[in-house]
Amino acid sequence: MSGDERLGICDLEVKRGGPSYTVATLRELHERAPEDDLTFIVGGDIALGLPSWHEPEAVLDLATLAVAERSGAGRHDVTERLEQAFPGRASLRFFDMPRMDVSSSQIRRRAAAGHSIRYLVPDPVAERIARERLYIT
């Protein structure tokens, strides 16, 4: 990622092709570096839907879930839902940061509708989405 040498891009899902399940990506990352502790970062809204995912128990076994709170999906909501669905299994961490109620789904919808996504994503990202007409159906 531009400007921060600690971040990079991993294209394993693109190279794998076909449907992309989080559990498959986490398994492959674990196989590549079994000594690494994986953390899967999601918004609270996404965390609430984890019980309906493909192999959600394996996702929780492979990674710590790091959650950014969202409106209607706070710590209590997420913790309660996941503890009910996966008693004693979910390793959760919450971000201590100001809440920003902007989701990737919202950004994709705005881009598809031709609305500005400026200030919601870095300028180079907004420029590439516009240039390549990503998310336009």
Are 44 and 87 part of one and the same domain? yes
Q: What is the pLDDT of residue 2?
A: 63
How far apart are the C-alpha atoms of 134 and 1, rounded to whole Å?
19
Closest CA to 27 of 52, 62, 60: 62
Domain carrying residue 17:
1-98
80 plus 132 within the same structural domain: no
Contacts of 25 (CB under 8 A, 6+ apart): 12, 13
User: Nearest to residue 59, comparing CAs of 67, 68, 49, 50?
Assistant: 50
Q: Are 56 and 13 found together in one domain?
A: yes
Write down the pTM of the prediction. Answer: 0.73
Indicate the number of domains in the chain: 2
**Whether 19 and 3 share a structural domain:** yes
> Tens-digit pLDDT profile for the chain (137 aa)?
567 888 888 889 888 888 889 999 999 999 999 999 999 999 999 999 999 999 999 999 999 999 998 888 899 999 999 999 999 887 899 988 777 778 888 899 999 999 999 989 989 999 999 999 998 87
